[in-house]
Amino acid sequence: MLANNPSASKTLWIKNPLAVFSGALTGPNAERDLAGGLVIQGSQIIESVAAGKQPTVTVDQQLDASDMVLLPGLVNTHHHFYQTLTRCLPAAINQPLFPWLKTLYPIWSGLTPKHIELATEIACWELMLSGTTTVADHHYVFNHALSEAIDIQAEVVGHLGVRAMLTRGSMSLSQKDGGLPPDSVVQTEQQILDDSLRLIKRYHDASNGSMLNLALAPCSPFSVTEALMCETARLAKQQGVRLHTHLGETIDENDFCLEKLGMRPVDYLEHCGWMGPQTWLAHGIHFDEREIQRLGTAQVGIAHCATSNMVLASGICPTLELEAAGCKVGIAVDGSASNDSSNMIQELRHSLMQQRLRYRADQISHHQVLNWATQGSAAVLGRDDIGVLATGKQADIGLYKLDGLNFSGAHDPLAALVLCGASQVSKLMVGGKWVIEDAEATREQLNQLKAQHHQLARQLVG
């Protein structure tokens, strides 16, 4: 399904886009230096072209982008690919987080390698078709059949040509020990640590332009032991990888930590050696002012999951306070059983609308959420080579046509992309290679995959 790609030595001028966002939050007039487009060679951007100017380098190929909006590829910071198999499950639809999890854990305990393969592929294509060039996944369900779940994911993302941050999730605290998950989906601490080290050594690439990074990701305070949290932090520091977990998602989580651990979640995070720029947290809603300052001082990252937080009625992330304190903030679709979509460009609109329930309209703009989804998300994942359109950065690029009825009459193309509700990229480039050249044709090619995935979903739920 991947398109043919030109020789790495050739130059491509993506010429005169309808509108452009650089990735940096620099104001509406700062994009004029990119208004003439970008020149790509190999995996990188080698020149920005100002309005009315020509490239200074020799151009081998040109792409007329005058009817398309040009963005850095979107960067998703948190997901659960396997949950594409349990979207809109009637028993879970109208539940808050803890009952929602207890409903779904028994179903997820039946996952097989084939489920993981197809769910990963479906989730990645859905993200890519919405303009995502870097995917992140938090897989933490390991039954007896899924010892190589992350290996399966690594193979799929490599085949698709999408950039990825895969996290080795884990659960070690089952219901019999006071946790939420059933015994069938937890592992011993030693199993988890041994496999974490194996995966880091096999897949993690810390180089500039890397296509695959690994991080370690115990699921949550209510599903892992304190010992695992502490040992995971030590292993991550030893191996130079990042740390990820769910934190501050619900008031129930705060109550659980106070009852079972004798401390609030942020205190627990610090107690376990996690407070630092190597850590990013999914959700980050229920922090008090002092905790926000502590997280900011430590430069912890936050994956803001607006749609999931609305579906589960979890609350609203205090994004601006977190940023002002020093936290990095990015955007994430979260799992497709609490979103129930993996559409990243739609997540921007949801984020803007939800955040305006907390902040003034002039504080949360389309530029703000675009920045969170690009440069902000890249920073959350510890990347400075993606997320912006600038010379020397990776050529991860999304091009959007505003040709739907929902865009008719729109006056500001960049604002229209977010406010009018874009849902599909037209073309997508990762590292200088076209992975989607014709979105409609790609969707047609995915019909068989979709049918197989849907059949497996029906079988899983029973």
**3-state secondary structure string across 349-385:** HHHHHHHCCCCCCCCCCHHHHHHHHHHHHHHHCCCCC
Q: Is residue 173 part of a domain?
A: yes
Residue 8 — pLDDT band, cuts 50, 70, 90? Answer: low
State whether 184 and 302 are in the same domain. Answer: yes
Q: What is the DSSP string of 420-456?
A: TT----SEEEETTEEEES-HHHHHHHTHHHHHHHHHH
Question: Is there a domain that residue 459 lies in?
Answer: no
pLDDT of residue 5: 52
How far apart (Å, rounded) are the C-alpha atoms in residues 281 and 138? 11
Domain assignment of residue 162, yes or no: yes
Q: Domain check: are 136 and 213 in the same one?
A: yes
The answer to whether position 179 is within a domain reads yes
CATH number at residue 374: 3.20.20.140
* HSE value, Cβ hemisphere, 13 Å, CA-based, for 50: 5
Residues 305 and 367 in one domain: yes
User: Could you tell me if 279 and 313 lie in one domain?
Assistant: yes
Q: How confident is the model at residue 424 (pLDDT cuts 50, 70, 90)?
A: very high
Q: Is the pLDDT of residue 173 over 60?
A: yes
pLDDT of amino acid 10? 94
Question: Are residues 299 and 434 located together in one domain of the fold?
Answer: no
260 pLDDT above the threshold of 70: yes
Q: Are residues 404 and 417 in the same domain?
A: yes
pLDDT digit string, tens, across residues 263-300 = 999 999 999 999 999 999 999 999 999 999 999 999 99
Looking at the structure of the chain, the number of domains it has is 2
Are 150 and 51 part of one and the same domain? Answer: no
On whether residue 390 sits in a domain, the answer given is: no
In a domain, 204, yes or no: yes
350: in domain = yes
Q: Verify that 146 and 253 share a domain, yes or no.
A: yes
pLDDT tens across 84-133, in order?
Answer: 999 999 999 999 999 999 999 999 999 999 999 999 999 999 999 999 99
- Report the pLDDT value the prediction gives residue 2, as an integer from 0 to 100: 44
Q: In this structure, are residues 336 and 87 in contact, taking their beta carbons and an 8 Å threshold?
A: yes
- pTM to 2 decimal places: 0.96
Q: What is the CATH number for 399?
A: 2.30.40.10
Domain carrying residue 319:
78-380
Cα separation, 460 vs 136, whole angstroms: 24
Q: What is the mean pLDDT of the chain?
A: 95
* CB contact at 8 A, 268 and 218: no
Whole-number Cα distances in Å, 387 to 202, 341, 384, 398: 26, 22, 7, 11
Is 80 exceeded by the pLDDT of residue 136? yes
Local structure of 80: helix, strand or coil: coil
The pair of structure tokens assigned to 390 is 């600038």
454 domain residue, yes or no: no
Q: Which residue has the higher pLDDT, 222 or 193?
A: 193
Q: Are 64 and 85 in the same domain?
A: no
19 vs 31: CA distance, rounded Å: 8
Q: What is the mean pLDDT of residues 415-431?
A: 98
The torsion region of residue 169 among left (phi > 0), alpha (psi -120 to 50) and beta comes to: beta
Residues 342 and 288 in one domain: yes
87 and 69, same structural domain?
Answer: no
Same domain, 217 and 200: yes
